[in-house]
Amino acid sequence: MTPRLVTTVVELREALEPWRGGPIAMVPTMGALHDGHLSLVAEAARHAPRSVVSIFVNPTQFAPNEDFAAYPRTLKADMAKLAGRTDIVFAPSAAEMYPDGFATTITVGGPSAGLESDFRPHFFAGVATVVAKLLLAAMPDVAVFGEKDYQQLLVVRRLAADLGLPARIMGAPTLREADGLAMSSRNAYLDAEQRKTAARLNAILKDVIAKTGNDNADLRAAEQHGVKALLEAGFGKVDYVAIRDAETLAPIATLDRPARVLAAAHLGRTRLIDNMPIA
């Protein structure tokens, strides 16, 4: 069954009202859905009998030099992919989310510091603001975000905890292509040669983890190895390869707690991110 499409907050709340009292899940997306997104929708279904998927390309998380105008908008195809998987698709306009006179921005500290913020300083304020608006619009019991955007997941968890938002923020594992590349809407930007190179990101992160496999491991040397390996593989620019505390994303000197390796690198005009846990 094709999900119901709603485009305003008033419509969304009216559509969800009959289901209040039982759990409702939400999956916020920017559309251009692929199997990775659909795995999040499946995860939502495991936590609630009713769900809503939002599709909104959020302008406030793009800088002027980024790909907002070019970001794929495929609502008709997305609706078809969601048939039988969710009850409601919330696809608001920019004017609905940011009406004339809109003047509020949410800033989250803690896990937003460094990494993505060093290269996209505008990004998490835009994410935090739109996610807060989406969660307040739908008031779900559960909201599912992918671990591929790991820093974003931790920022959203901090946001929900600090503002007392009632949604439980769930992380879902990264879904990967057969060669290990993390699924992303931006993968469509890669040409054939870049696509082959992109698969090296996953393998190189595994190599970085392997270099942390003893008690005396030099974590900074492992990070530097990752940067060098990515450049040698054909990535044109590496923003970071970083080993961080898995719960706070604070820098660490030793692996005496759960950790994560995170990376961001460029192939042509496409910026790819990925991360993995360090056992």
* Bridge partners, 171 (sequence order): 145
Among 101, 122, 102, which residue's Cα sits nearest to residue 112?
122
Instruction: Tell the burial category of 159 from Cβ atoms under 10 Å away from its Cβ (0-12, 13-18, 19+).
Output: buried
Q: Where are the beta strands (DSSP E) in the chain?
A: 4-6, 24-29, 50-55, 88-90, 142-146, 168-172, 237-245, 259-267, 270-278
Tokens of 70: 């070019």
Token pair listed for 96? 């609905």
37, 47, 225, 266: the active-site residue: 37
* Active site annotation includes 37: yes
Residues belonging to the active site: 37
